[in-house]
Amino acid sequence: MKKASPKGDSPGELQSSPLLVVLSGPSGTGKDAILSQLKESGYPAEFTTTVTTRPKRTREKDGVDYHFISDKRFQEMMERKQFLECAKVYGNRYGVPLEPVREALEGGKDTILKVDCQGAATIKKLLPQAVFIFVVPPSMEELTARLKGRRTESDFDCDLRLKTAEAEMKQLPLFDYVVVSQQDKIDLAVLAIEAIIIAEKHRVTPREIYLPG
């Protein structure tokens, strides 16, 4: 396992190793919107795009929201051990490509990735020194309204996601931080995540990431 290179060139920033930030939470909590706003703000981090076999939704862009690939290609990547973690979620396969994460961290760049709770648990075992942030809705009632309102799943799939969300909320102790995501106040969730990263940069004992391989 190779240690990530240190960074600390920004004025006033303490010298520290680059951070691996793992963003997770139940479906419908606004993780994509949070990441989109972080990217649009020019936040200085590498945003790793997840690979998936699920069909692309109307407003999604390949290579931006996800890398959409076939089951065959996904299987080939698994066999070549090209994923940091991968799992089957709601009948589709998702995986975090290892090489972009490695390149970013070894280049001294903070890296942010989005995974489901199952993926977060896997990464926690592999890389316990990563920063784990759990995004939650203000209430289950609001989450229900969000999932039903976006109309991207059938009623059956929507109910399944809600039942899964209830179970995932019990995974909170796995994480280092929790951020409440309000639908009309995504900017507050973004500010909270930025504050978490700033605080991590001022740890007395910096986190050090050792990637597999």
pTM for the model stands at 0.87
Strands (E) across the chain are located at 2-3, 20-24, 46-48, 51-52, 67-68, 83-89, 92-97, 111-114, 131-136, 177-180, 210-211
Q: Is residue 99 part of a domain?
A: no
Write the CATH number for 202: 3.40.50.300
Q: Which domain holds residue 10?
A: 2-48+108-211
**Is 90 domain-assigned?**
no
Asked whether residue 85 is domain-assigned, the answer is no
Is 136 domain-assigned? yes
- Give a yes or no: residue 55 inside a domain: no
In a domain, 97, yes or no: no
Residue 23 belongs to some domain of the structure: yes
Angle 166-167-168 from CA coordinates, rounded to 5°:
95
Q: How many domains does the chain have?
A: 1
168 within some domain? yes
pLDDT tens series, the chain, 213 aa: 556 655 554 444 555 789 999 999 998 899 999 999 999 999 999 999 999 999 998 888 999 889 999 999 999 999 999 999 999 988 899 999 999 999 999 999 999 999 999 999 999 999 999 999 999 999 888 888 888 777 666 777 888 889 989 999 999 999 999 999 998 899 999 999 999 999 999 999 999 999 987
Query: Which two tokens mark 192?
Result: 């909270």
Contact by Cβ (8 Å): 110, 194 = no
Give the count of beta carbons closer than 10 Å to the beta carbon of residue 102.
Answer: 18
